[in-house]
Structure 1
Amino acid sequence: MNTKNILLMSCILLAGLAGGYFISGTQQVEQQSQGTVQTTAGGDGPCAGGAKPLMWRNPMNPSVTSPKPAKDGMGMDYIPVCADAGAASGPAGTVRIDPTVTQNIGVRVTRAVQKELSRAITTVGRVTFDETRLTTLHPKVDGWVDKLFVDKTGESVEINTMLLAFYSPELVATQEEYLLALANWQQLKTSPYKDIRDGAKRLLDSSLDRLRFFDVPEHQIRQLQQTHKVRKNMHIHAPAAGIVTKIGVREGARVTPASELYQIADLSRVWLLADLYEHEIPWVKPGDSASLTIASMPGRAFTSKITYIYPYLDPKTRTNKVRIEFDNRDGALKPDMFGDVAIASSTSKPGIYVPREAVLITGKKAHLFVQVEPGRFEPRTVKIGTSAEGQVEILDGVKAGELVVSSGQFLIDSESSIREAAAKMVAPALAPGPTMESSEIHPAMNMDPSVTHQPNQPAMQQMDMPGMNMNGMSTDPHSAGEPNGMGAGHPQGEGQDAPSHMNGMQMNGDKMKGMDMEGAQ
């Protein structure tokens, strides 16, 4: 008897708990529904001043909206989109922020200034030879090098320094011709016949010119006139002072007019070739001052001017070279040195300029935010020009004196994009965005457009699917509901205990009229 009482009391207690849980859940749902209705119908809305929102948008996809509060597929509440009276008079995307919040999020504004802007260009350069002071020596005749007097590169030579001596059969023959012409002139210079005297003189002069054309030095010609003896070796002298940078032959080598004997460079003046990018070329012109600093000579700066801008680009580096000439009589600058070059451009361009960080580049467009009044920021699409010294030229979109946002504009831009999207969706002249009531529905699912989705109502209960007809479907236990499809009267396989997969499935013919299975038995 006691056991029965205990069981009875336990059942009563469980029934009471279940009933209380059910009643509590029902009351909570009713309260939420009443609260939603009060929020929608009353004046206590979620917007400022208790105003009603324009719509409710999906927190994950702003293009999906609803005219009333709802939840998305993950259970997240839709966000109310409120009307902004201050932004209504401005373009789409205008943002209003409380001045205190503006200060806290680090929003800074800068005035657009009308001015003339120049720039200083910093680049790298390489020291090289002055091409006009570079000398290359070649022999005028064939021969063989007999003696090298300057046999090391890097040596300093003066004008007329003897470089080498070489033997040439052609020069020997030319000397003999000159001696014959000289002897003939000495015999005929006293002739009473003017024509004979003139002919002997012309022969002497032509043979002397031949020696000089072959670069025979004057001191050897004087020795030939004085001694009347042919010399085996002829000398080649340095035509200019400088540093020997290349020796092309050695003693005993055969040379021809194509052989390069020496290369001499005058380093008292050198060139510097600096590289400029394409966008820097318009800022530079000949005559602009430039300074050069070398890492190996800290504290010393070499100053000069741009003398030439090359009319072509380097195809490998895509840069334009400019030439700067430096006085180098002390030899401090050496060819192939690298240094930092600072060019002070004399070119200035007038325009309206704003800080570079104020402009947001999105694809092929640029935009910024203008503070039209305290706490109100308006997006502007602008056309930009040149940029220099951290400033960007505004060709169109902003006037001089307007305040543009130069810091914190990314936060404003994100809010502006949301507001602009919302404004486009509620604009009467534009087609409405996809909502939960106007979402695309597959043609096979005939859903009544008058039925809207309710957050707390199962979606399947609102779907009318007349195309699924199961009136003729047999519910014979022999075909469904029995293990392995075996009904009573059909033997079941030995050792098989498969559960039924159709137990508990209810076929509602009114809701699933579209499945025509009249032939199923």
Structure 2
Amino acid sequence: MTIKKSSIKGKLKIFFIALVAFALGMIIQFTFFSLPSEQEHAMQSTMEKETETTLWTCSMHPQIKLPKPGKCPICFMDLIPLEDTTNDGSQSAQISISEYSKKLIELETTEVVKRFIDAKIRLVGKVDYDETKVAYISAWVSGRLDRLYVNYTGIAVSKGDHMAKIYSPDLLSAQEELIQALKTAEKLQNSDSEIIKNTAQTTINAAREKLELLGLNNQQIQDIEQRKQTNEHITINSPISGVVIHQNVKEGMYVQTGTNIYTVADLSSVWVKLDAYESDLQWVRYGGKVEFTTEVYPGKIFTGIISFVDPIINPDTRTANVRVIVPNESLRLKPGMFVRAVVHSKIADGGQIMNKELAGKWISPMHPEIIKDEPGICDVCGMPLVSAESLGYVDSEEQKAPLIIPVSAALLTGKRAVVYVEVPDQEKPTYEGREIVLGPKAGNYYIVEHGLYEGERVVTKGVFKLDAELQIQAKPSMMSGTGQLLKMEHKDSAQMFSEKTNDSEPFDIDQVFRSQLTNVITSYFSLQQALAGDNPQQAKTYATMMRDNLEQIDMTLLQGYTHMIWMGHRDKLNSFLNGLLSAESIEEQRKYFAVLSNQLTLTIVRFPPLQGKIYKVFCPMAFDNKGASWLQNTPQITNPYFGAIMLRCGNIDEERTFPASAETEPNE
């Protein structure tokens, strides 16, 4: 019994030990194997990421992107996995950043607006003599200068003041001839022969003219005739009032005919000669007003009028000379003074300069101070006056504001201009790169010719940082090749007329609007016929009618994007019509008609008129074989660029039928 009990106890002991061992094993397994550690989580996450990552890059050289891990070929550092930072996996020109990043790079945007720009062109130069008011006093006869009444430079003289006394044997001989002619005429006074009397009088007149050619005035000649005695000396008088700026002789010197004795300058008006850089010349126009200050009178602002812009650039300074005529009655301005000048130019759409004071005026082409309300003749030079419009000035009330952006918004890469446009209605700040076409620079702004719309916002601060981020991500940026950034294509009229693209799809517009637009096109056809008939007056009449019909179009019939596109078309049509109306010859009218025709071709593609056929005709010989197109409503060609000379020159390139609905039919 004792042995049996011991055996049972041993078995229980073994079972208990086995049970404890099993329990410990389960605890250990649960603790160490069931729950992975944080390190295992990180390793697993990294492995998953490595599995998803397709590119490896270098932290020092982000342009290196390889499909497998390894060493950087530049610095030999270990490559790291490149996270996919694009929103959609595509290489678009868009980039999204967080609000924190936006503040960190100090990114700011500015709205694209239409606004008249007051361009301030700052120039430097100096005061100089008015060359039109400088007189040279020279010896009309050879002789000896026995006395100089004016014997130093800088002295002020008046017109008629005696300047020098000269002894001349030639002058004595000429005086003697006059006296002898007078005595002979007295002796022949009682002669019955009219021929003899006339001969004597002719001799007297010839002697007088000879003395006039030798420099004597009428009063001096009359004194000789009355006294009937010769003068050994002749006095030289000043022809103008002014200041003696040069004296080239001394008393007792012998001079020859033509020797320059004095130079006298009238300082009642002076010239200010300024240097203008090439980029500023487009805002500097003949007849424009200039304000300037001097070191001598720092608080005094002087004003003048631009009388000349040099047509040649100085190859050393890369500037052109700008001449300003300034009244100087008080004689404050002295030749040689340095000046700082400002030219104010208010810029309208198309780079035109607005000037309310000159609008509708007529200006002398040589003397800009001569301004009249009506055509006429210059009071100074007798030349016909020219219109202010022909000099590039327009009335401010008739012009449209240009589309502008700040200078800091544009990244210039030589031939291209890149801006970053804010994409609206995005969860995160998003920007896209876009190539645009810039017009001229005016002060701190660029005029935008193409590529942006009014109301869009462009990045003006932090733009380089934004572009650098795109470069790091290997996305299209300012350093990318042409065509990789978003670019608004600008097709010509021929392509737009014949092709059917997204940019040339017609708008679904109101029938009333189409009817009003048809009136514009009808007046265009009349204008085309007037030019074909070589009638510039009729052309102006129909151009005025076309402009009036254009203004009568009710723009409220268009909404949103369609309205914005129409505004651009209307402004360009108006601009070309104004140019045609200001043209002074039929040749100039035809040049404006060519660009008007191109623009109207683009317009009717987007804004189709009412039902009818329109033919696009091309003449390859127009404008010195450059070629030009126009529109007409009949298949019989009537060439507006040559008129009667080659009335039928040209061929029909395209024919388009506009249906009653807004959708176009296929070209025939």
Fold shared by both chains (TM-score > 0.5): yes
One-letter amino acid of the structure 1 residue matched with residue 221 of structure 2: I
- Other-structure match for 2:98: 98
Give the distance between the partners of 1:87 and 1:378, measured in 2 at CA. 14
Partner of 1:86: 87
C-alpha offsets along residues 4-38 of structure 1, whole Å, 9 cap, x if unaligned?
Answer: xxxxxxxxxxxxxxxxxxxxxxxxxxx9x988963
Q: Which has the higher contact order (CA 8 A, sep 6+)?
A: 1
1:358 aligns with 2:364: no
Q: Deviations over 1:454-490 (max 9, x none)?
A: xxxxxxxxxxxxxxxxxxxxxxxxxxxxxxxxxxxxx
Contact between 2:85 and 2:473, CA under 8 Å: does it hold in 1? Answer: no
Percent of pairs identical after alignment? 30
Structure 1 residues not aligned, in runs of 5+: 1-30, 424-521
Amino acid at match of 2:82: V
Give 1:63 deviation, angstroms.
4.6
Alignment of 1:314 with 2:314, yes or no, is yes
Given that 1:81 and 1:422 are in contact with CA atoms closer than 8 Å, whether structure 2 keeps it comes out as no
Q: What's the offset of the Cα at 1:378? A: 2.0
- 1:145-183: CA deviation from partner (whole Å, max 9, x where unpaired): 111111111111111111111111111111111111111
Which of 388, 394, 400 pairs up with 2:448?
Answer: 394
CA contact (8 A) 2:135 2:265 kept: yes
Give the AA of the match of 2:454: A
Q: In the alignment, which residue of structure 1 is the partner of 2:238?
A: 238
Which has more radius of gyration? Answer: 1
Matching residue within 363, 367, 371 for 2:422: 371
* Residues 414 and 107 (structure 1), Cα distance of their counterparts in 2 relative to 1, 3 Å cut: same
Structure 1 residues 58-207: aligned runs within 5 Å? 58-67=58-67, 70=70, 72=72, 76-84=77-85, 86-88=87-89, 91-207=91-207
Which runs of structure 2 are paired with 1:52-63 in the superposition (5 Å)? Answer: 52-63=52-63
- One-letter amino acid matched to 2:321: K
Cα distance in 1 for residues equivalent to 2:94 and 2:220: 94
Structure 1 residue 107 displacement after superposition: 1.2
Question: In the superposition, relative to structure 1, how do residues 34 and 75 fare at CA in structure 2: closer, same or farther (>3 Å)?
Answer: farther
Preserved contact between residue 106 and residue 407 of structure 1 (Cα < 8 Å): yes
User: What is the letter of the counterpart of residue 180 of structure 2?
Assistant: L
Distance 1:307 1:346, change over 3 A: farther
AA of the residue aligned to 2:183: A
Q: Partners in 1 of 2:106 and 2:292 — Cα distance?
A: 41
Cα 1:370–1:397 shift into 2, 3 Å? same
**Cα distance in structure 1, aligned partners of 2:475 and 2:42:** 26
Residue in 2 that maps onto 1:416: 470
**Displacement, 1:201?**
1.6
Q: How many residues are treated as equivalent by the alignment?
A: 386
Q: Give how far 1:70 is off.
A: 4.6
Decide whether the 8 Å contact of 1:217 with 1:235 is kept in 2: no
Quote the Cα distance in structure 1 between the aligned partners of 2:68 and 2:475. Answer: 18
Could you tell me which residue of structure 2 aligns to residue 214 of structure 1?
Answer: 214
Distance 2:172 2:251 in 1: 20
What's the TM-score once normalised by structure 2's chain length? 0.54
User: For the Cα contact (< 8 Å) 2:417–2:438, is it kept in 1?
Assistant: yes
Question: What is the rounded CA distance, in whole Å, between the counterparts of 1:186 and 1:75 in structure 2?
Answer: 121
1:421: Cα distance to partner? 5.6
Superposed displacement of residue 235, structure 1: 1.2
Partner of 1:225, secondary structure, is: helix
What whole-Å deviation, never above 9, does each CA across 1:340-390 have from its counterpart, x for those lacking one?
111111443354322212222345433232221342222223333322221
Q: Deviations over 1:305-353 (max 9, x none)?
A: 2233233333432222222211111100111211011111144335432
Equivalent in 44, 47, 63 of residue 38 of structure 1: 44
Any conservation in 1 of the 2:64–2:72 contact (CA below 8 Å)?
Answer: no
Deviations 1:215-246 (A, max 9, x none): 12444434423333222111111111111111
Q: Does 1:345 align with 2:345?
A: yes
CA apart distance, 1:401: 2.1
Given the superposition, is the C-alpha separation of residues 87 and 124 from structure 1 closer, same or farther in structure 2, using an over 3 Å criterion? farther
Paired with 1:215 and 1:363, the residues of 2 have a C-alpha distance of 64
Could you say which residue in structure 2 is the equivalent of 1:276? Answer: 276
| 1:477 match | none
Instruction: Pick the structure with more helix per residue.
Output: 2
Maintained 8 Å contact 1:149/1:163: yes
CA distance in 1, matches of 2:196, 2:62: 114
Q: CA deviation at 1:68?
A: 5.4
Q: CA distance change for structure 1 residues 225 and 366 in 2, over 3 Å: closer, same or farther?
A: closer
CA distance in 1, matches of 2:430, 2:438: 23
Which segments of 5 or more consecutive residues in structure 2 lack a partner in the other structure? 1-36, 352-400, 478-668
For the residues of structure 2 that align with 1:261 and 1:328, how far apart are their CA atoms? 26
Q: Is the 8 A contact 1:40 1:52 kept in 2?
A: no
Q: Which residue in 2 is equivalent to 1:383?
A: 437
CA shift in 2, pair 1:376/1:87, >3 Å: farther
> How far did residue 287 of structure 1 move?
2.5
Asked whether the equivalents of residues 242 and 266 of structure 2 are also in contact (C-alpha less than 8 Å), the reply is yes
Judge conservation of contact 2:143–2:166 (CA < 8 Å) in 1.
yes
**Contact in 2 for aligned 1:175/1:211 (Cα 8 Å):** yes
Amino acid at match of 1:146: D
Offset from partner CA, 1:68-123 (integer Å, 9 cap, x none): 5555476744233222463546x535322111221132111112223343412110
SS in 2 for 1:106: coil
Q: Distance in 2 between matches of 1:223 and 1:75?
A: 108
State how far apart, in whole Å, the 2-side matches of 1:314 and 1:150 are.
39
8 Å CA contact 1:217, 1:237 repeated in 2: no
Does the residue aligned with 1:226 lie in a helix, a strand or coil? Answer: helix
Residue 92 of structure 1 contacts residue 420 of structure 1 at CA under 8 Å; is this kept in 2?
A: no
Change in CA separation of 1:77 and 1:316 when aligned onto 2, cut-off 3 Å: closer
Task: Work out the CA distance in 2 between the residues paired with 1:338 and 1:59.
Answer: 57
Contact 2:110 2:458 (8 Å CA) reproduced:
yes
Matched, 1:289 2:289: yes
Tell me how far apart the structure 1 counterparts of residues 286 and 314 of structure 2 sit (CA, whole Å): 19
Q: 1:87 to 1:358 in 2, by over 3 A?
A: farther
